[in-house]
């Protein structure tokens, strides 16, 4: 496993692999790796000859500077975890390497970029599109792997790939959860122990919502979910919506012939957590 920090060295290494006819898989991350990330790497290893993992905390997708500064950076432990996976190359560039000059591109994503995360984190998805498109240009992978925990982000990346006509196959992978159901996230490491215990209510409530949809209307279920979570003094719901899986438009009736996804963002202390579940 090689650690590479410059674009020039990365491109040289990738060229060698492609000239040998090898399939390149890519897992972009911001580090602070957990079992969810490792699952993506293992999935890539099953389908590809070479697996590249990027570790880069991207400043352009943070609309809150405090959040950017607090985001965990754990390169040494990340490297140790990756040694037990099919990862071939770790790409860990500096911000100056990725952004030698300001990226002024503005992407248009329509409804999928303006609701939920787009509404509460203005500029976030533009930053995601900027960095992922740059990384795709650097790595030039055949396949790229993303977790479904970031359901809306996956829709954004698919749209960006279509807009820019990038020749890469996007592979969605299931959410990986802790034993108590909490969706694995690098941000979980920032939770105090008592916050971590209470955060499990988020997924527990979503799983209960799956069962209660037969009992409640869409609006009633939304109120029940928010009310259940917000009765916990450690948690505060930022948004909860039930949307279709294509345009991410709010549904109003269970009778609508679309695949339905319940998406939520919750503040647990100073840590913001997201999750979703298919209904």
Whether 37 is catalytic is yes
Domains assigned to the chain:
2-173 (3.40.50.620), 191-271 (3.30.1300)
Measured CA distances, 47 to 42, 57, 58, 176 (Å): 9, 26, 27, 19
> Can you give the pLDDT at residue 64?
81
With both helix axes pointing from N to C terminus, report the angle between 193-212 and 218-230 in degrees, rounded to the nearest 10. Answer: 160
User: What share of residues in the chain are helix, strand, coil (percent, to 5)?
Assistant: 45, 20, 35
Spell out, as residue ranges, where the chain has pLDDT lower than 50: none
Q: How far does CA 171 lie from the centroid of its chain?
A: 13
> Can you give the pLDDT at residue 67?
85
CB 266 within 8 A of CB 202: yes
Tokens of 277: 């579940």
Residue in 34, 37, 124, 267 annotated catalytic: 37
- In whole angstroms, what is the distance from residue 213 CA to residue 220 CA? 9
Q: What is the DSSP letter of 61?
A: G
This prediction has a pTM of 0.95
Tokens of 173: 């992978």
- In whole angstroms, what is the distance from residue 80 CA to residue 223 CA? 44
Q: What is the DSSP letter of 89?
A: E
- In this structure, are strands 235-244 and 260-268 parallel, antiparallel, or unpaired? antiparallel
């Amino acid at each position: 496993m090689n650690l590479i920090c410059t674009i020039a060295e990365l491109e040289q290494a990738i060229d060698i692999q492609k000239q040998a006819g090898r399939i390149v898989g890519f897992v972009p991350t911001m580090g602070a790796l957990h079992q969810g990330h490792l699952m993506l790497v293992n999935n890539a290893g099953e389908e590809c000859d070479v697996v590249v993992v990027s570790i880069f905390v991207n400043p352009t997708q943070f609309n809150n500077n405090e959040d950017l500064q607090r985001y965990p950076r754990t390169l040494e432990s990340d490297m140790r975890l990756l040694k037990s996976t099919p990862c071939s190359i770790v790409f860990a560039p500096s911000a100056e390497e990725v952004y030698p000059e300001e990226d002024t591109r503005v992407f248009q994503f329509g409804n999928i970029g303006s609701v939920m995360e787009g509404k509460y984190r203005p500029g976030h998805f533009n930053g995601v599109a900027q960095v992922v498109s740059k990384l795709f240009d650097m790595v030039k992978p055949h396949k790229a792997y993303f977790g479904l925990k970031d359901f809306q982000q996956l829709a954004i990346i698919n749209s960006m790939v279509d807009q820019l006509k990038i020749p890469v196959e996007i592979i969605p992978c299931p959410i990986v959860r802790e034993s108590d159901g909490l969706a694995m996230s690098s941000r979980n490491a920032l939770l105090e122990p008592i916050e971590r215990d209470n955060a499990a209510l988020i997924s527990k409530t979503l799983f209960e919502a799956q069962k209660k949809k037969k009992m409640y209307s869409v609006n009633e279920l939304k109120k029940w979910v928010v009310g259940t979570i917000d009765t916990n003094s450690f948690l505060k719901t930022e948004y909860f919506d039930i949307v279709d899986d294509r345009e991410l438009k709010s549904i109003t009736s269970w009778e609508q012939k679309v695949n339905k996804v319940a998406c939520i963002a919750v503040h647990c202390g100073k840590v913001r957590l997201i999750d979703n579940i298919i209904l």
